[in-house]
């Protein structure tokens, strides 16, 4: 994922998109979320989980 891609993300992204940005697989991302160790802020929305983009940027050291 390029810097341009990261900066164009919406305010919250899917776990798959966050995992891709972090360079990990979806299974690993879900395991980290389940264990409470995902490095970015997770937003549970019923059966769906989203990741706060600003928090993801912070983890990746992106300055918008």
Query: What would the pLDDT profile of 17-37 be if each residue is shown by its tens digit?
Result: 999 999 999 999 999 999 999
How many domains would you assign to the chain? 1
Residue 63 confidence class, pLDDT cut points 50, 70, 90: confident
Q: What is the pTM of this model?
A: 0.93
What is the token pair recorded at 13?
């992204």
CATH number at residue 47: 1.10.10
Domain that holds residue 9: 3-60
Percent of the chain with pLDDT over 90: 95
What is the C-alpha to C-alpha distance for residues 17 and 22, in angstroms, rounded to an integer?
A: 9
| CB neighbour class for 55 (10 Å; exposed up to 12, middle 13-18, buried from 19) | middle
The vertex-31 CA angle with 51 and 37, nearest 5°, equals 65
Higher pLDDT, 50 or 1: 50
Residue 17 near residue 37, CB atoms below 8 Å: no
């Amino acid at each position: 994922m390029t810097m341009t891609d990261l900066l164009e993300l919406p305010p919250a992204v899917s776990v798959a998109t966050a995992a891709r940005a972090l360079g990990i697989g979806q299974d690993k991302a879900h395991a980290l979320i389940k264990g409470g160790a995902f490095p970015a802020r997770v937003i549970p929305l019923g059966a769906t989980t989203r990741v706060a983009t600003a928090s993801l940027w912070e983890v990746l050291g992106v300055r918008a």
